[in-house]
Amino acid sequence: MNKFIIAIMFIGFFSCNESQLKELNFYGEKITSNNISDFAKVKNLTENQAEVETKIEGTILSTCPKKGCWMQVKVQEDTILVRFKDYGFFVPKSGAENKRVIMQGQAKQDTISVELLRHYAEDAGKPLQEIEKITEPEYNISFLADGVIIN
């Protein structure tokens, strides 16, 4: 009887872990959810360094609806633009909004040109009048991800 109970517990343990893994979607380099950095510290580091190798988490606000080649992610009080290393992988074009994301890669202070901002607005399906209102570059933190976990 004890062996039967132990076997049931053993099967239950592994089936829970398997279902948890099914909820995770990996893109790019396979990464873990360990050692996530505090974004406030990363943000401070980017002021003094060209790039900061890090792992951060946030909430997906939107993804590129044409290819899935970028994401807008809310990280604490900031919204950051996330692109993918060497254009080597993409995330879902829809359905990822409001999901938790863990990203590993390089954070840096960045200037996003008017041309690129207009390109992203066009990808997102914004109306022409809104695209034409983009006349100034943006200065913020951008992220070049090696790997991403969405759940």
Note the pLDDT tens digit of each residue in 8-53: 444 444 444 444 445 789 999 999 999 999 999 999 999 888 899 9
pLDDT digits (tens, 9 = 90+) for 94-137: 999 999 999 999 999 988 899 988 998 888 889 999 999 999 99
Q: What pLDDT is stored for residue 67 in this prediction?
A: 92
Q: What is the pLDDT of residue 129?
A: 94
Structure tokens at 145: 């991800």
6, pLDDT greater than 90:
no
Q: Specify the pLDDT at position 4.
A: 44
Report how far residue 77's alpha carbon sits from residue 147's, in angstroms, rounded to the nearest whole number. 23
Beta bridge partners of 104: 55, 147
Distance CA 78, CA 115 (A): 22
The most confident of 4-8, 14-18, 55-59, by mean pLDDT: 55-59
Look up the pTM and report it.
Answer: 0.77
Closest Cα to residue 56, out of 106, 124, 9? 106
110 touches 47 (CB < 8 A): no
Provide the 3-class DSSP secondary structure of residue 1: coil
For residue 146, how many other CB atoms are within 10 A of its CB? Answer: 19
Distance of alpha carbon 42 from alpha carbon 63, whole angstroms: 23
SS3 28: strand
pLDDT digits (tens, 9 = 90+) for 78-97: 999 999 999 999 999 999 99
